[in-house]
Amino acid sequence: MSFSIFNTLGREVQEFKSIRPGEVGFYACGPTVYNYAHIGNLRAYVTHDVLARVLRRRGFKLTHVMNITDVGHLTGGDDGDDKMVKSAEERGKSVLEVAEFYTKAFFNDAERLNIARPDVVCKATEHIEEMIALTGRIEASGCTYQAGGNLYFDIARFPRYAELARLKIDALQAGSRVELDGNKRNPEDFVLWFTKSKFANQALVWDSPWGKGYPGWHIECAAMSMKYLGEQFDVHAGGIDHIQIHHSNEIAEAESATGKHPWVRYWVHNEFLVLGGKGKMSKSSGGFITLQNLIDEGFDALDYRYFLLGGHYRTQLQFSHESLSGARNARASLASLLGGLAERAGVGVDELVGRAVGGKAASYLASFDAALDDDVNVPRALASLWGVVKDADVPPEDALAAAFDMDGVLGLRLAEGLAKTTEGCCEDGALVAEVAALIVERTEAKKAKDFAKADLIRDSLRARGIALEDRPGRTEWRRIADKKLWAKAAQD
């Protein structure tokens, strides 16, 4: 079976075919860095991380691009407050200080959730030139008008506007939606370039052919994704709230500028994390929970990752502390099962990372992959992990090797967890598990083309007297016997 995924464009599960054989361009909308990410936002980023890992496992050379929105994202539409400017005012900081602080906080959360860093992380404020150029192309296509100082996209000039969200434009136009911006010809028109600001002290403004101002939010994603992935690419992801406005607007911008259709082949949208009674978790709903809140309550970030993996990305997930405790218990049982397997295994754990398995373990791996091929069905894939580690007929070495292999997608740091459970038992056991975990991390870094990280891991081990040797399909390690050589290796 080949990999299939639900495409919002078409509303069906479709067989995945990349534009260029063997390569995938993947853009996922990133955070607006005016506040901490809440755990609902983090569901979106874990979804993107798992999808990226699945595509890599399927052999694609993936370029994963994520933006950081540090300008232009208004609350509630083109008429709201600028999220960044408002946050900076409330905190008595500059917009860039706020952006830097929450960008760091975001990546700290991502690291704790074992979300691999995208290949390209691009800040909106560093791509204004590209946004102005793209806006110019949209203007040249005849799809814009200027009113009240702003430049608008005229959706009446783009007949495919309703396609992604399956909007009933006529009904909306005749309906009750109140549009506060009187400059718009249609309620769905949106701003490409703002020159009017509610904030007299708006610090971030740039010169443009339409006057001094700043870009609309949607043009950021359209311009940056095309800069790094080309005028047409494979996958674009975000939460379902983005279908109707943000992503519909991005498509209108990109396709009117390039004249190419479809701009993006597969649109992937995750459902919401909801809080009992309060509905969708959002920054304004009151039920705002951060990853740090969970950690302060004694949970591990990976308990939350495990909890997320338990729900299919296209179904709503109800958050509760009881369910999170369930996830914590499940992770503890998993760790203890793995610990038992490691004790019974006839070879060191380090030799099992990356080792091919046959027999029954291979059939668990096959069902794991079949589940992922079926619209990234992670809950079903998790069942294969449990199956292989609990099956008494699978030799412990094979069970561990299969579990580590599956963890390349699940990202539960199973090998590192094993290092923790063997800590204190004996110095060597702990070392073996630690090195095994680092080898997994290095292999992942290499797969993700993060060679700097891979080299750092190799060098830090060398400085401790451990040499890594890459063999086909696996990495071996040995102690460097000669201490002088070891010291020299650390200096090099």
* Chain contacts with ligand AMP (rule: CB under 6 A): 29, 31-32, 40-41, 43-44, 238-239, 241-242, 270, 272-273, 280-282
Question: Which among 25-33, 176-184, 368-376, 483-491 is the span making contact with Zn ion, rule CB under 5 A?
Answer: 25-33
Contact string 165-204 vs Zn ion (x = CB under 5 A)? ----------------------------------------
Look at residues 407, 416, 422, 413 and name the one whose alpha carbon lies nearest to residue 434: 416
Question: Which among 74-82, 175-183, 220-228, 385-393 is the span making contact with Zn ion, rule CB under 5 A?
Answer: 220-228
One residue of 5, 29, 39, 454 binding Zn ion per CB under 5 A: 29
* 221 lines the binding site for Zn ion (CB under 5 A): yes
CB 209 within 8 A of CB 61: no
* 65 lines the binding site for Zn ion (CB under 5 A): no
Alpha-carbon gap, residue 226 to 425, rounded angstroms:
53
Whichever of 102 and 364 has its CB closer to ligand AMP, that residue is 102
Closest separation in Å from C-beta 47 to ligand AMP: 8
- 247 is in the binding site of which of Zn ion, ligand AMP, none (Cβ under 5 to 8 A by kind)? none
- 380 is in the binding site of which of Zn ion, ligand AMP, none (Cβ under 5 to 8 A by kind)? none
Alpha-carbon gap, residue 406 to 384, rounded angstroms:
9
Whichever of 66 and 438 has its CB closer to ligand AMP, that residue is 66
Residue nearest to ligand AMP (CB): 239
Whichever of 223 and 273 has its CB closer to ligand AMP, that residue is 273
Alpha-carbon gap, residue 53 to 63, rounded angstroms:
11
Closest separation in Å from C-beta 247 to Zn ion: 7
Alpha-carbon gap, residue 27 to 154, rounded angstroms:
25
Whichever of 102 and 306 has its CB closer to Zn ion, that residue is 102
Closest separation in Å from C-beta 33 to ligand AMP: 8
Look at residues 151, 149, 129 and name the one whose alpha carbon lies nearest to residue 140: 151
Question: Which among 100-108, 219-227, 264-272, 369-377 is the span making contact with Zn ion, rule CB under 5 A?
Answer: 219-227
Look at residues 272, 284, 315, 137 and name the one whose alpha carbon lies nearest to residue 209: 137
At residue 466, the 3 state secondary structure works out as strand
Closest separation in Å from C-beta 3 to ligand AMP: 22
Size, binding site for Zn ion by CB under 5 A: 2
Closest separation in Å from C-beta 83 to ligand AMP: 8
Written as one letter, the residue type at 336 is S
Alpha-carbon gap, residue 194 to 85, rounded angstroms:
14
Helix residue ranges, H only, 34-176: 39-57, 83-91, 95-112, 128-140, 169-174
Whichever of 70 and 398 has its CB closer to ligand AMP, that residue is 70
- 7 is in the binding site of which of ligand AMP, Zn ion, none (Cβ under 5 to 8 A by kind)? none
- 221 is in the binding site of which of ligand AMP, Zn ion, none (Cβ under 5 to 8 A by kind)? Zn ion
Closest separation in Å from C-beta 280 to ligand AMP: 5
Helix residue ranges, H only, 239-358: 248-258, 291-296, 301-309, 321-344
Closest separation in Å from C-beta 242 to ligand AMP: 5
Strands lying side by side in the sheet with 150-153: 144-147, 150-153, 190-194, 214-215
| Phi, psi angles (nearest 5°) of residue 36 | -65, 150
| Phi, psi angles (nearest 5°) of residue 141 | -75, -10
Closest separation in Å from C-beta 27 to ligand AMP: 12
| Phi, psi angles (nearest 5°) of residue 68 | -120, 115
CB 225 within 8 A of CB 65: yes
Whichever of 158 and 267 has its CB closer to Zn ion, that residue is 267
State the residues that interact with Zn ion by CB under 5 A.
29, 221
